[in-house]
């Protein structure tokens, strides 16, 4: 660990070496500098073929020769270990591959590798599996040897003229490697790093090539750091912060994006830590003050003086870390804050013991002693940044908005207005020979278009669009039929069509389902009976779902209504409470109770929202799954984090997380080929909850009525519905209890007299089993 951290002091190797070399040059050899095509050169330079030849002014020749060694300093020609690491005191080498390695300065790789480790830890989604380990190693290869090697090589390239005077034995000015070979190495390392980044994006299933963009941005930053005209390293503030960001932020972001999601708060936190990186970089500037001053390089010791600069240096390191500790404490992570504080204290001790006494004499001792604690602190921060997982609806509900907010009510009603209009559009398309998939696509497109036109000019982006994909289920099909684009199923004259769809604005959901028979004139016979059963049961449920009532009472009433029409309520259908971004919250009630399906007892409360879903059948109400391949509607389960094995599965789940993090969706909206391959594994391991296509027996008819109701302080407000076509059922309602339920009002009204009579009249209309009148009355 100490060696890793000590190598952080080498993050400015070229800048420091250049400054040191410039110090020799400026004190002894006043050579005039002029701009050339690449970097800076002296007027005494010539390029002879691929070898750079130094020609100093005649009056200074002896001085230059006496001061600039032709070989690496040190007995025996230097160290072979130093040569491989790319640091001072390197032995002269003729092996081209060793020279290429020397140019990449391997001593500077460990901080980048450590950054990837921190990012992976911060993602909260790294597992010790062979696949994740392989991903992390490849990411380290990209960050260290490839892109850091590219950075160091290009930095030496743009410093080659200065090196020709101060360190002519270095690979480029000595001619040990030709200019063309250096340029080739730069391109190979750059393209290799970008290629690995793209590969990791595909491996991780990213729809947006996040890692490629990070690698490209980091490469650009490296270029402008070293190359004119910007040459950021000439400015003490900008150059050092750029280095801090490159060695701390960029590899962290890469590791986190590879295994999780790169969030804005993590970006801010790591950029804040880059200020500490700036402080580390300043440590290396003190030994180069004279050279920097002579060359006009505005390092901080030059700009502010040594005394002030050393306090700026330790201040940048300490204040940054203390700020992060304060942030962790304020975020409810006191143990991480205390751990970070415990790692800051020894750094401050070593600052007073070494660095503040003499930043030049004790810089190596200071960095070797203090920086291990800094890097451990970065890792502690990474662990503290892991995302918290919600374990239940209750934890998530604490910060949810409800109907006490007028803005929330407006969003619910805006979503309802859109889905009601979309239902009309879809109904108009339900004609003989119309393809069902075309109808579904038109419904979804209308919702997305209408929702997309709302809340466009707000500061905070508001998610909006389809909350439940348009489904068109015919005759004995119970529901959820939303076929793929290749499906050729069409509607026929006389088909009983169930349309199910939903819209949301900022996660506030409005759902609706309606049943329609494709025919002219009134609907009669058993088709009319089952529609009347579903609609009347829905009217009863609307009047019983009210604050203070129990959920099981609604279930019993729905069953009784269906029996009055000699129909069955389809088993397994559940009406759910809805909340922001939650289409199926914990409170719910069954349409029919069975031993296999149970829900917890619950009491309805004011300011709650429910999607009341009634599905009735002329059959036995026990539908069957005939073909799993027909299932196309799914919902992501946010609580599942199983590591998928197949590449197609990882790609699909990444796309789903980005596009449909909360709402159900249809496989038709995904890339079809990969969807076919990946959805099965996603379902098998619980990532996705399927909405299966179920069937009653052939010849049976199934009707569905669904609406959204807001339990407002002044009564129930049904915000989604559609008027039924004319029906003539064979049964009528004679049961006094059902008549009593239908006579209940849905609004809290003051006073009596005419209003009470009107309410009673509305109830009597419902008891006559005329769903159209009951439905329209309920909306008034």
The pLDDT tens digits for 267-318 are: 888 888 788 777 777 777 786 677 667 666 677 888 888 889 889 988 988 9
Fold of domain 397-630+695-733: Creatine Amidinohydrolase (3.90.230)
Average pLDDT, the chain: 80
The pLDDT tens digits for 692-745 are: 999 999 999 999 999 999 999 999 999 999 999 999 999 988 899 999 999 988
The pLDDT tens digits for 33-55 are: 233 333 333 333 333 333 333 33
Higher-confidence position of 371 and 20: 371
Answer yes or no: is pLDDT of 14 > 90. no
pLDDT band, residue 73 (cuts 50/70/90):
low
CA–CA gap between residue 213 and residue 250 (Å, rounded) = 11
pLDDT band, residue 399 (cuts 50/70/90):
low
Biggest CA pair distance of the chain? 121
Answer yes or no: is pLDDT of 606 > 90. yes
CA–CA gap between residue 109 and residue 87 (Å, rounded) = 13
DSSP helix/strand/coil, 715: strand
CA–CA gap between residue 589 and residue 603 (Å, rounded) = 10
The pLDDT tens digits for 153-172 are: 988 888 787 667 656 777 88
CA atoms within 13 A on the CB side of 128: 0
The pLDDT tens digits for 117-138 are: 988 888 888 888 899 999 999 9
Where do we find the tokens 């691929």?
50
Q: What is the share, in percent, of the chain residues with pLDDT greater than 90?
A: 42
> Beta 523-524 vs 496-505: how paired, if at all?
unpaired
Q: What stretch of H or E contains 717?
A: strand 715-718
DSSP helix/strand/coil, 274: helix
pLDDT at 292: 66
| Residue partners of 89: CB distance under 8 A and separation at least 6 | 72, 73, 74, 78, 79, 82
CATH 3.90.230.10 location in the chain: 397-630+695-733
For domain 632-691, which CATH number applies: 3.30.300.30, 1.10.10.10, 3.40.50.720, 2.40.128.690?
1.10.10.10
The pLDDT tens digits for 522-548 are: 999 999 999 999 999 999 999 999 999
């Amino acid at each position: 660990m100490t060696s890793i951290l000590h190598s952080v002091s080498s993050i400015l190797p070229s800048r420091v070496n250049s400054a040191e070399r410039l110090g020799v040059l400026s004190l002894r050899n006043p050579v005039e500098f002029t701009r050339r095509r690449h970097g800076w050169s002296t007027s005494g330079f010539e390029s002879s073929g691929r070898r750079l030849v130094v020609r100093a002014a005649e009056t200074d020749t002896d001085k230059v020769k006496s001061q600039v060694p032709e070989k690496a300093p040190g007995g025996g020609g230097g160290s072979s270990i130093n040569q491989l690491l790319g640091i001072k005191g390197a032995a002269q080498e003729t092996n081209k591959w060793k020279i290429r390695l020397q140019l990449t300065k391997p001593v500077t790789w460990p901080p980048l590798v450590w950054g990837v480790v921190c990012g992976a830890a911060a993602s909260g989604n790294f597992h010790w599996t062979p696949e994740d380990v392989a991903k992390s190693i490849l990411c380290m290869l990209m960050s260290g040897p490839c892109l850091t090697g590219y950075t160091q090589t290009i930095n030496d390239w743009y410093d080659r003229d200065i090196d020709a005077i101060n360190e002519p034995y270095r690979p480029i000015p000595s001619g040990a490697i030709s200019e063309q070979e250096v340029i080739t190495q730069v391109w190979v390392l750059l393209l290799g790093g970008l290629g690995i980044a793209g590969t990791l994006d595909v491996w991780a299933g990213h729809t947006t090539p996040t890692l490629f963009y990070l690698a490209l941005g980091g490469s650009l930053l490296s270029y402008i750091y070293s190359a004119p005209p910007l040459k950021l390293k000439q400015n003490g503030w900008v150059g050092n912060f750029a280095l801090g960001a490159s060695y701390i932020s960029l590899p962290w972001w890469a590791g986190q994006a590879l295994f999780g999601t790169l969030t804005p708060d993590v970006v801010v936190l790591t950029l804040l830590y880059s200020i500490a990186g700036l402080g580390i970089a300043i440590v290396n500037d003190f030994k180069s003050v004279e050279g920097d001053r002579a060359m006009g390089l505005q390092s901080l010791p030059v700009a502010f003086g040594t005394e002030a600069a050393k306090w700026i240096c330790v201040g940048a390191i300490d204040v940054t870390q203390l700020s992060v500790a304060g942030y962790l404490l304020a975020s409810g992570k006191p143990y991480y804050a205390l751990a970070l504080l415990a790692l800051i204290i020894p750094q401050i001790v070593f600052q007073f013991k070494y660095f503040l006494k003499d930043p030049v004499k004790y810089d190596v001792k200071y960095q070797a002693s203090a920086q291990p604690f800094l890097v451990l602190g970065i890792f502690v921060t990474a662990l503290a940044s892991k995302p918290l997982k919600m374990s239940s609806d209750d934890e998530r509900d604490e910060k949810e908005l409800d109907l006490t907010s007028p803005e929330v009510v407006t969003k619910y009603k805006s979503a309802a207005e859109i889905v009601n209009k979309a239902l009309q559009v879809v109904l108009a398309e339900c004609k003989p020979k119309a393809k069902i998939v075309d109808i579904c696509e038109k419904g979804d497109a209308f919702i997305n278009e209408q929702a997309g036109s709302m809340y466009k000019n707000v500061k905070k982006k508001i998610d909006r669009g389809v909350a439940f994909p348009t489904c068109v289920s015919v005759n004995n099909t119970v529901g959820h039929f939303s076929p793929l684009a290749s499906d050729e199923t069409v509607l026929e004259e006389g088909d009983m069509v169930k349309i199910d769809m939903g819209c949301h604005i900022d996660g506030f959901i409005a759902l609706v389902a309606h049943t329609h028979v494709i025919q002219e004139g009134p609907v009669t016979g058993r088709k009319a009976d089952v529609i009347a059963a579903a609609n009347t049961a829905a009217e009863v449920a609307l009047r019983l779902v009210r604050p203070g009532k129990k959920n099981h009472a609604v279930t019993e009433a729905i069953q009784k209504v269906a029996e009055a029409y000699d129909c069955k309520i389809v088993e397994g259908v559940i009406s759910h409470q809805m909340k922001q971004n939650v289409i199926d919250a914990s409170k719910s009630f069954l349409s029919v109770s069975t031993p296999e399906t149970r829900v917890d007892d619950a009491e309805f409360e004011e300011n709650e929202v429910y999607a009341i879903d009634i599905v009735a059948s002329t059959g036995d109400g026990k539908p069957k799954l005939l073909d799993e391949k027909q299932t196309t509607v799914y919902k992501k389960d946010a609580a599942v984090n199983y590591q998928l094995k197949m590449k197609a599965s990882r790609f699909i789940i990444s796309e789903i997380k980005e596009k449909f993090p909360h709402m159900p969706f249809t496989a038709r909206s995904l890339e079809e080929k990969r969807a076919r391959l990946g959805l099965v594994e996603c379902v098998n391991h619980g990532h996705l909850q399927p909405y299966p296509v179920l069937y009653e027996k052939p010849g049976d008819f199934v009707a569905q009525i669904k609406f959204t109701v807001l339990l407002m302080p002044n009564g129930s407000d049904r915000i989604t519905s559609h008027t039924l076509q004319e029906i003539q059922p064979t049964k009528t309602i004679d049961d006094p209890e059902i008549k009593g339920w239908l006579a209940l009002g849905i609004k809290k009204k003051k006073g009596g007299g005419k209003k009470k009579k009107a309410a009673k009249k509305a109830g009597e209309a419902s008891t006559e089993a005329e769903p159209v009148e009951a439905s329209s009355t309920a909306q008034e």
